[in-house]
């Protein structure tokens, strides 16, 4: 890793997500639709407690949090909320509810670790979540979603970095929603399973530390159906209409720019960063770059700084040049080399702006930094 990335990772808490690290080796690559999470049949939600009154959670600082995020695994390999190796899109997610229900979202929890022997996971950030929904009580609720997820390895500065996604659920009201969890009879299915939590709930775009206590001998009643990325629904092509872009993300926010070559590559390299994003339908995406704080606001527009406007309000100045990617429905990724118009970007702070080509399409931005070797 570069020095910035190491300092950034060092500020996070390296934790094992309730046996999730042990599950990393349990799932082999797959090329067909898969189920992520436990079976929900014949496993009633028999826990009436919510985020705020689970007696087995040891809150360090009162009062209890207003919400929580939960994810689970069985270290024996019976089931896991971890995504198998590859890139996927979860199309349907399910939750089996108890007697009390409130608003919730399905949450993708992303962790990273080095495969070079450092061990442990860096926890956690959320690249994407589902729409907010309120399920029916005491039933299995199937919710249509579009959640791009991955379990991949990128070589960064010669070090293999593993990115692993998990499917979880966030309860947005602590006291009004019972935890969707099954506590099995002794020796029954799920007796070896466990649940980890983050509280308050982690939401899309946030980066959080884990809050720690693991709840053993239970099954988190959440699962999902995932298709290989790029296959579309039922293996078909993208949906018609202008695609909506979401979950724009970078493997690392600070990196060296490539000395030569194009703006985007398909393979990993020691320079640049891997860009990931999701599209609601197949289509072309235009990428531009803004230099943060380099421009000055003049008559409502961001202009290059001059002696005459130097005292005006700073703004993010769009640089000349762009490049395009043809995206598929669902998850997409490529290596951004830190180059634009055949030139290497200078060290500094920037925005990468992604905009689907088409009327009414909205742009998304993510920050990055070009560093010196």
CATH number at residue 327: 2.60.40
What pLDDT digit, counting tens, does each position of 298-321 carry?
988 999 999 999 889 999 999 999
Closest CA to 112 of 20, 203, 220, 245: 20
pLDDT of residue 208: 79
Q: Which residues of 130-157 are buried (b: 16+ CB within 10 A; e: fewer)?
A: beebebeeeebbebebbbbbbbbebebe
User: 215 and 239 share a domain?
Assistant: no
Last residue of a domain, one of 171, 200, 228: 228
Residue 129 structure tokens: 């979540």
Q: Residues 273, 25, 27, 223: what is their CA dihedral angle, to the nearest 10 degrees?
A: -80
Last residue of a domain, one of 228, 248, 272: 228
HSE-up of 109 (CA within 13 Å, CB side)?
Answer: 27
User: 12 and 148 share a domain?
Assistant: yes
**Per-residue pLDDT averaged across 331-344, rounded?**
88
Residues shown for the chain: 373
pLDDT band of residue 117 (cuts 50, 70, 90) is: low
Distance CA 254, CA 349 (A): 9
User: 277 and 219 share a domain?
Assistant: no
Q: How many domains in the chain?
A: 2
User: 33 and 181 share a domain?
Assistant: yes
For the ranges 4-8, 45-49, 154-158, 214-218, which has the lowest average pLDDT? 4-8
Residue 273 structure tokens: 């960063």
User: 217 and 125 share a domain?
Assistant: yes
- For tokens 């702006």, the residue is 353
pLDDT of residue 6: 34
User: 219 and 141 share a domain?
Assistant: yes
User: 292 and 309 share a domain?
Assistant: yes
Is 25 a residue whose pLDDT tops 90? no
pLDDT of residue 54: 64
What pLDDT digit, counting tens, does each position of 146-165 carry?
899 988 887 766 677 788 99
Last residue of a domain, one of 228, 259, 282: 228
**Per-residue pLDDT averaged across 210-237, rounded?**
70
Q: Are the C-beta atoms of 56 and 6 separated by less than 8 Å?
A: no
Strands 330-336 and 273-279: antiparallel
Is 15 a residue whose pLDDT tops 80? no
User: 37 and 12 share a domain?
Assistant: yes
Residue 4's H or E segment, with its range, is helix 3-10
Q: Are the C-beta atoms of 238 and 328 separated by less than 8 Å?
A: yes
Give the three-state DSSP class for 347. Answer: coil
User: 208 and 248 share a domain?
Assistant: no
User: 82 and 123 share a domain?
Assistant: yes
User: 256 and 217 share a domain?
Assistant: no
Could you tell me the residue range of the domain that residue 76 belongs to? 3-228
Written as one string, the DSSP assignment of 147-196 is EEEEEEEEEETTEEEEEEEEEEEEES-TTTS---EE-PPTTSTTTT-EEE
Distance CA 208, CA 20 (A): 17
The winner for highest mean pLDDT among 188-197, 262-271, 274-283 is 188-197
pLDDT of residue 76: 84
Is 233 a residue whose pLDDT tops 50? no
Give the three-state DSSP class for 88. Answer: strand
Residue with more model confidence, 119 or 178 = 178
Q: Are the C-beta atoms of 165 and 333 separated by less than 8 Å?
A: no
Distances (CA, A) of 26 to 119, 154, 222, 299: 16, 20, 19, 58
Which residues, in sequence order, are bridge partners of residue 164?
111, 151
Residue 20 structure tokens: 């999730």
């Amino acid at each position: 890793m570069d020095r910035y990335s190491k300092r950034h990772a060092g500020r996070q808490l390296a934790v094992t997500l309730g046996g999730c690290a042990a599950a990393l080796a349990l799932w082999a690559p797959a090329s067909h639709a898969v189920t992520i999470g436990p079976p929900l049949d014949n496993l009633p939600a028999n826990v009436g407690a919510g985020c705020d009154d689970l007696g087995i959670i040891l809150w360090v600082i009162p009062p209890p949090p207003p919400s929580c995020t939960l994810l689970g695994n069985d270290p024996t390999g019976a089931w896991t909320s971890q995504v198998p190796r590859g890139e996927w899109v979860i199309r349907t997610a399910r939750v089996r509810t108890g007697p009390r229900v409130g608003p919730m979202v399905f949450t993708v929890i992303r962790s990273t670790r080095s495969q070079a022997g450092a061990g442990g996971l860096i926890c956690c950030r959320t690249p994407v979540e589902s729409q907010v929904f309120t399920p029916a009580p005491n039933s299995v609720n199937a919710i249509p979603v579009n959640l791009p997820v991955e379990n991949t390895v990128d070589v960064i500065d010669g070090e293999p970095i593993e990115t692993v996604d998990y499917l979880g659920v966030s309860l947005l009201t602590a006291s009004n929603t019972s935890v969707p969890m099954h506590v099995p009879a002794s020796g029954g299915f799920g007796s070896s399973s466990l649940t980890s939590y983050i509280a308050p709930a982690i939401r899309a775009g946030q980066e959080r530390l884990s809050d720690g206590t693991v709840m053993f001998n239970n099954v988190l009643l959440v699962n999902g159906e995932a298709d290989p990325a790029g296959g579309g629904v039922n293996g078909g092509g993208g949906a018609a209409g202008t695609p909506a872009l979401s979950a724009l993300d970078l493997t690392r926010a600070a990196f060296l720019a490539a000395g030569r070559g194009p703006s985007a590559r398909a393979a990993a390299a020691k320079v640049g960063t891997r860009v990931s994003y999701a599209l609601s339908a197949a289509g072309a995406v235009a990428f531009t770059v803004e230099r943060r704080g380099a421009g000055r606001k003049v008559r409502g527009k961001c202009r290059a700084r001059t002696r005459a406007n130097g005292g005006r309000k700073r703004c993010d100045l769009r640089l000349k040049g762009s490049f395009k990617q043809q995206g598929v429905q669902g998850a997409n990724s490529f290596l951004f080399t830190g180059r634009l118009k055949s030139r290497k970007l200078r060290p500094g702070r920037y925005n990468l702006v992604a905009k689907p080509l088409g009327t009414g399409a909205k742009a998304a931005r993510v920050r990055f930094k070009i560093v010196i070797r």
